[in-house]
Structures are given as C-alpha cells and as structure tokens.
Structure 1
C-alpha cells in the first residue's frame, strides 16, 4: 500500500509540474493571457478561460489526452498539413507559383506535335535572355511573372501596357520585353490551353452539339439559336447564348508532365499523416466508400479525385443577381491541403455567359464535362509522368 501511495503521489507531482510548465509556456505565447483555449478534458480547447481557471480545470478534469502538440498555445505543428503550419504554406506557394519556363514549355510539348516549328520558337523564347547578359530572367519567364501579377492584382489592360512600356525604357537596349499587352499575349498564347465555344438555347433546353449541332432553333422550345435584334429580327451568326468549355484532360496531362506537380499528385497516398483525425478528404467516409467499391481505381494513387464547385446556380429561383457569367470550377483532392485550394490548381471548366442564372437545368451545361470524365473513367488516357519517368 505504501509503494502504491508513493507511486501515485510521484505521478501527481509530475503532472502538477508538467501542467505548470504548460501554463508558463502558454502565457508566454498568448495574445491575451486572460482568454486562452482551455485544454482540459471537458473544454478540449473549445472554450477560452483565464490562466487561473485553466489551472483549476487541469487539476480537476485532467488534460485532453489527444492534445500532444500545443498548436493552440504557440507550439509549432509537427505535421505539414496543420492549420497553423503557415511557414510551409508560404513555402509551397513560392515553390509552385515560381514558374520554370523550360518546365512549362515541356509541359506544352504534346500540344505542338503537329507543329514542331512553333514549338521550337516557344522553346527559343524560354531560353532567350531578357536582355544581353541577363542571367535571372528569360523573355518567357519575365512575361509569365508579370502576367501573373496582372491577374493577381486585377490590373487593367491599359495599366499593364503602360507598365510594359515603362519597363522597356528602364531595361538596357536590345531587350526582348514586349511593349504592349497585344504583343505579350502573342508570346504567351503559345502556352495556352484550348477551349470550345458551344452555343446554347436561351431557355437552357439544349446545347447545340452532337445531334443538335446543325440546328438553327431549339427542338424543345422553338427559340432561335441566334440573337434577336430590334423588332425581333434574327442576327445571323451571333449566338443567343454561349457556353465556354475548357477541356480538363489536356490540363491534367500537362500537370503530370511537370515534375514538381506530378510528385504532389500522389501526396494523399505518400505523405498524408494517418493519425485518426480528419485532416484531408482522404480521411472522410465518402473517400473510403469509393476505395471499397472500386478497388482497381483505388490501387493507383495517380488516379485523380475530383470535386466540382458551382457558383451562381439557382435551382429554386430564390436568388437574384446582376452577374453575367456563371462558372463551374474543378478541385483536385490528390494535392496537399495547402495547394488544392490555390488559384493555380482550381480548374475552371465551364463558363456560362448570360445575364440569366442557370436554374434547374444545370445538367444541360455539365454534359460535355461529364462526357470527358466518363471517357477517363471507362478508357483512361496515357500520359507521361515526368517525376517517375
């Protein structure tokens, strides 16, 4: 009995010392020592208390046994996908948003299989110094970085043209920087991904594709395919409504053809922390259901797990808006959480141009995307993996 009592007393003393050390650590790192998350077994960091109350709770309730890393009290997380791991997120952003021109050109190689001369011209721009003696920037890398800034900060076309003109005067003579936005776009267009313009019925009945491709009016509602002008006269050649479709398959292929991105497309299988917490969609029940029902698909970690986000859909006509563009964005969940929601990896697939919100007929516009996804599911596409060669 004496030994048991001594053992319990020793453990109690060690706990009190550890709890006091925790309180001192938390106080040093707290923004407000009078309102800190309480890590006791009952509060579980969900309630804020002053330090004396936390000391009493730790004494009476004990500490939450799952709270190993004190991320709510100033300790840096050991995991790369923690909410508080801001340093790694910043490193990832710099890593993946620092475009390597040669890598981008190699990623676009398949697009020029029928036009090798144009590819060689693109490769030349990627290797040509911005000005004689420049070692930090090539013509293509400088343009890409400047254009990324234009998109990030919503610069107008006129301001960007003025900026290019000013930079051209600042740089040494014989520099390769285009002086206008038009000339810059001509150089960058070589890297672009193709898109398809599909005419649509103004009432969202059909898309003019497949069996309806040559129709001039909707077979369901009878509305003209073409825009109506004054006095309801038809303006030939001007569609009443347009769907812009950006096929995802070529963009998926280009991802795998860039080594650094291809490596991260299996992050969910290679690097994810498996500790019983919900840190990534891979931890969710729906992901596990897919793995169980389609084991062949799950056996290859490079197979892409996708989510679709719709902005502005109005199935019950309860919203009103003055927007004129409605978009469908695709998210790839193979990537780590610090990347999958970044602009670079959020893939615009559909853009519906019309003042009227798509309603319950959104499935009409999803048809070309569904066709491509079904083709990937049933047949697949051979793609070169630059990371695994």
Structure 2
C-alpha cells in the first residue's frame, strides 16, 4: 500500500484495526477481506476513560451481544474544563437563546479580550496570568467535542439526501431512488457526501448518571393507574400490553418516543431542506418532559430531496442501536461505581400524517386503503379522494399486517416497517396520531376556511360555494358580520386573561361521548357533500382521522403524549442556528453535535452556574416598581394577596367567585365538541 502524505485525506478503518487508506476503494477491499475471514470488529479504542462502549460492530448479530452496553460517567468532569471554558459555555447559551449573529458574537468576544488586556496591562499584570477569558464559539465547540464522550458516527449518504448507504452491503454504490441514481463515489473513489449521527445510549447514560434526573425518570415505574382515566401515555393499553409481555420490568427502564419531520433552514434556498430525528423521554413527568434539556436529537438528515420511501435507510443505525438497548440493555456507572441498569424501548415513532405514512411504509391517502390505522376503502368524488365508508364497520389494522404485509391483498402496506424488529412494536398505534397537526393545522384551518369563505375574493372550488345561492352553504356567514366579529376580537385584547392555565375538566373520562361528538361532526360533513351543498374537498384525511381519536387515546393515552410540539420548538431553534446557504447539511450536523455536547454537560452531576459562581439575578420587591399616576392598572409584579373577605375596591366576593369558577371549569377545552354539537 502506498504511503499517505500528511496533507492527503485519510479514510480510517471503522472495524477497530486503526489502518488508514488513501481511497475509499482501498478501504472497501479491506472490509471485504475482513468479512471473508469472518473477522468481527472489536470495540473502538477508548477515546477517554469516560467512554467504554459506543456502537458495536455493524456486522455483529444481536444474539452474539450478550453483555449490556456499558457507560462510565466521570462526576469530576468539571475539573476537565477551565473557568474560561465554563464561562464561555454560559456565554454561548446566551447567544443561542437570543439568536445573536456569529459576527456579533465574535465582536463581543474581541471586545471582552481587549478590555481584559487593557485592565491587566494597566495594573502591570502579565497577560499569561489572566485567570479567565471568553473563547470563540468555534474554539469552544472543538473543546467540548474533544472532552465529551458523545462521538458522532459518520455515514455515507446520497448527495441529494435520498438514502443512507448501508455499511454491511458493499454492493450498493448507487442511489436507489429511481429519480436520482447518483453514484456514491466520485471517479477517483472519494466519498461524495457524508452525514453525522449521534448514539442514543451515551445521552441516556448521562441522564441516568445524574441523581436529579435519575430520580425524575422514576416517574414511569412509580406511576399509579386510575381506572377509566387517561392522563398520560402509561394509562394506555399499549403500555399495559408491553408490561404484560415482560417489558419495563426494571425500575430504571426507559420509554422513548421518536418524532420525524422536515423543515427548511432558509426560505431562499431549495438546498436548505432538512429532516430532523427528535426523541422525547417519556420517563420524565409531563411538566418537565418536553423541556429542551430533557429532549434530544440524534440526526439531521440533509437534503435537498425528501427521503420518503427510503427514510428507513437513515433510521437503520438508530434501530440497530435500539435493538441492543432494548434486549441487552445498558449499565451506567459513575466513577466506576454502578448506579443503574436499564433497557431502553422505543414505544412510538410518529410525526405529522405524511411523516407517519412514511414511517409505517403505508401507501398514500389516495391508495385503495388510504388510512394507516383502519382498513376503510377510499372513494373518489370528482377530483378528490375521500373516506365515505360506513364508520361503524371500520376494522383496525392488526400488528401482523405490518410485520408480514400481504402485498397481493393490496391492504396499503408496501413492506414491513423497520420498527417491526423492535420488541416494543405493537401495530398501528405505534405510529401515533399527532394532535398539533391534526387539530391545529388540519381541522382548525379547515374550519377557519369554511366560516370565512365569504371574505375570499374568489370562491373556493373545492368547497363548492355557489355564488348565486350562498345560503345553501351550511357554514355561510355574511361578509359584514365576519368583519364585525373580527373587530370584536381585536377589541377584546384587553379582556383576554394573561394565562390560560386552569384546572379544567378532563374530557378524556368519557371517551364514548367524545367519539360520538367527533363522529357526528364528520357524518354531518359527509351528508352535506352528498346533498351537494358543499364540495368533496372538505372531506380531507384529517376529518377521517378524527374517528380514530378514541382508539389512539385508549392505546397511547391523551394525544398530548404523542404531541410534536417539542420537536417544532426544536426545529425553530435549528432554523436560527443553521446559517449556511451552501453547505446546509454539514452546518446542521455541526449544530447537532454542539447542542448535544452542551446538553450532555448540562445533565452531568454538577452545575456550571455553581462551579463558576455566577451572580444571582437581581432581586425584586415592592420598592422595585414605580407607580406612575398617568398609567392605568396593569398585571405586573408585585402581586398583592387579599382574602375573599377583604377584596379591594369594595368588590362583592360572590360576584368575583362565580366568573373564576366559569374560567377554571375548562369551558375553552370543550369549544370544539360544542361546535359540532350545534351542527
């Protein structure tokens, strides 16, 4: 083998032998030799005493992996970072929170360095004796990546983001997307495109090593069921069935939910299309579960193409690791002392309706069986495909239809989803029913379009409003009345409560009533379509999926448990941090690693703020605010407490209590059922 120059790109063997090659072809030949000789990759050399195992051999069968994955977390890692680096982490958190541009951040660091240097020189102190300084963002990212055990795994992907090339099938050297067919390597044998992916186990180990988060994660094992009440995922039949199968037997076993969605980092570039793989740890209590320091991401899939039917190729490394974590489990130690042993189970993989369709390997809504949950047949009305079948005869899909899809029966499943390989897979409920897109962007938008149709300059043909006889349209409201309603809403800003947090009545205690209300609403729309008072375009898939809300609540608990709101907030953060317009995928991968390292440090058994002795926030009291005689009353601090017997301004207690009861009775939560009841 020819010698490698120092400046030439090196391709290192990922099978543990530490050999370097000048071209990808040479490394591929080396892999073939290793496979033919039945050699098994040994665990990679330990990069520090913090990491014991990461990914094991991609060629090793899971029956051969008898021992659990082991992770050792150093509780003294605070000593690894200098005061300058810890202060720089706090500064980086501030710049990320307020989306301070990179150049502005550099100018601030340069200004701080200038002030520090001037102060030292004026006091005749040598610069090398400076105890603290701010690090540039790039320097700090390199330090965190070097010192933390979360090491990204590089994978070769299609240059257009269509698929991830498998490492165990060297015969695939061309994109499997028939509309792409791009080659994996250049004519010189170099890699055309790579992406970075993070291991799940190390991030779970950091959470389990921290005594505070480990105590919070006992929420699952200590959860108490209430008959007929659905308050969390663990009230659902899906979790109870997994428990009966022997899963979640350990106190520290972890339940994860995965969310997938696409987004664009910048509106000006078609190459900025990305897909995020986001995880939520269901072991945490709901009040903290969706906070960003308790959720994590393992991959940002580069574009510009949407993976769709080849999405499973990107998920293969993730599923392979989850198979190990769910069967062999992991052992977490702190300074060599074992603190817990746990298994990690993926209990849900979901997203909006298109994402769930791709994850389940389900055909499109326009297929013969267009619903991913039941086996209702689609009906074509004009140019629209609708679900007009009898809802009383809906047959829910079974687990076996996903595990062994009968293609010849044309039931709408292309092939077995990759999640069937996990012991926690349980059928259609596994892919969830995401409430934010279902109600907010789906049903909410449809209802708004229906009641505001008279405001549109041109009538919506899909809703079929006849201009000559608008009264036949069941949702018709005069334009002038809509304008007046809008003005009333605009003027009601001063009376809107500052908080909508209330102890509302749960509508999940009577699922039968909820199903009846939603069913009547869908049946009404079908009836109006048959009477030709409204166009068939109103019968979108979201209307049909309302009929499955009851089933999903019974299986997975309240829809909040499968909500993608935390993922959408994370997407918003990535949109602000991914600045590149040319190398979008590479930039997104670097942001992924930077945030993962920072969250890893935040979950360690020590606090940065306590280590660097940050100044406490400025305290406030009644004297901190100045009353101006020209300002009207506002709901700002400080708040004064009064008993009901001594309310100010001579207010009668009975008149105050009644509206408070109405507000806290959950009337806002029942707005949608009340709307359908009026129909």
Corresponding pairs, count:
252
Relative distance call for 1:144 and 1:359 in structure 2 (3 A) is same
CA drift of 1:275 comes to 8.1
Tell whether the 8 Å contact from 1:265 to 1:302 is kept in structure 2 after alignment. Answer: yes
Residue of 261, 265, 279 corresponding to 1:330: 279
Whole-Å separation in 2 of the counterparts to 1:160 and 1:289? 52
Q: How does 1:186-335 map to 2 (within 5 A)?
A: 186-189=142-145, 190-191=147-148, 193-201=150-158, 207-213=164-170, 216-218=173-175, 223-226=182-185, 237-240=190-193, 242-270=194-222, 277-292=229-244, 294-295=245-246, 297-312=247-262, 323-335=272-284
Residue of 89, 95, 106 corresponding to 1:144: 89
Whole-Å separation in 2 of the counterparts to 1:160 and 1:300? 46
> Which SS does the other structure have where 1:343 is aligned?
coil
199-208 vs 248-257, which deviates more? 199-208
Whole-Å separation in 1 of the counterparts to 2:49 and 2:214? 16
Relative distance call for 1:382 and 1:152 in structure 2 (3 A) is same
Q: How does 1:1-389 map to 2 (within 5 A)?
A: 110-111=50-51, 123-126=78-81, 128=82, 138-170=83-115, 173=120, 174-189=130-145, 190-191=147-148, 193-201=150-158, 207-213=164-170, 216-218=173-175, 223-226=182-185, 237-240=190-193, 242-270=194-222, 277-292=229-244, 294-295=245-246, 297-312=247-262, 323-384=272-333
Relative distance call for 1:143 and 1:203 in structure 2 (3 A) is closer
Relative distance call for 1:279 and 1:168 in structure 2 (3 A) is farther
CA drift of 1:198 comes to 1.0
> Which SS does the other structure have where 2:231 is aligned?
coil
Tell whether the 8 Å contact from 2:209 to 2:339 is kept in structure 1 after alignment. Answer: no
1:238-292 superposed Cα distances (whole Å, 9 cap, x missing partner): 425x443211011111211222112211122336685864332112222222112
CA drift of 1:149 comes to 2.1
Tell whether the 8 Å contact from 1:199 to 1:243 is kept in structure 2 after alignment. Answer: yes
CA drift of 1:308 comes to 0.8
> Which SS does the other structure have where 2:324 is aligned?
helix
In structure 2, runs of 5+ residues without a counterpart are 1-47, 54-73, 121-129, 264-269, 341-679
Whole-Å separation in 2 of the counterparts to 1:202 and 1:324? 13
RMSD: 3.6
> Which SS does the other structure have where 1:167 is aligned?
helix
TM-score (norm 1): 0.55
TM-score (norm 2): 0.33
Whole-Å separation in 1 of the counterparts to 2:167 and 2:276? 22
CA drift of 1:335 comes to 0.5
1:177-205 superposed Cα distances (whole Å, 9 cap, x missing partner): 23422332233222362112211245777
Relative distance call for 1:336 and 1:166 in structure 2 (3 A) is farther
CA drift of 1:338 comes to 2.0
Q: Which has the higher contact order (CA 8 A, sep 6+)?
A: 2
Tell whether the 8 Å contact from 1:204 to 1:364 is kept in structure 2 after alignment. Answer: no
Relative distance call for 1:161 and 1:360 in structure 2 (3 A) is same
Relative distance call for 1:210 and 1:185 in structure 2 (3 A) is closer
Whole-Å separation in 2 of the counterparts to 1:322 and 1:269? 45
249-258 vs 202-211, which deviates more? 202-211
Relative distance call for 1:272 and 1:350 in structure 2 (3 A) is farther
Relative distance call for 1:340 and 1:180 in structure 2 (3 A) is same
Tell whether the 8 Å contact from 1:144 to 1:188 is kept in structure 2 after alignment. Answer: no
> Which SS does the other structure have where 1:350 is aligned?
strand
Whole-Å separation in 2 of the counterparts to 1:387 and 1:336? 24
Whole-Å separation in 1 of the counterparts to 2:302 and 2:99? 20
In structure 1, runs of 5+ residues without a counterpart are 1-107, 114-118, 129-137, 228-233, 314-320
Tell whether the 8 Å contact from 2:161 to 2:302 is kept in structure 1 after alignment. Answer: no
Whole-Å separation in 1 of the counterparts to 2:208 and 2:325? 15
1:351-384 superposed Cα distances (whole Å, 9 cap, x missing partner): 2111111212211211111111111122122222
Relative distance call for 1:109 and 1:168 in structure 2 (3 A) is farther
Tell whether the 8 Å contact from 1:339 to 1:345 is kept in structure 2 after alignment. Answer: yes
Relative distance call for 1:187 and 1:220 in structure 2 (3 A) is closer
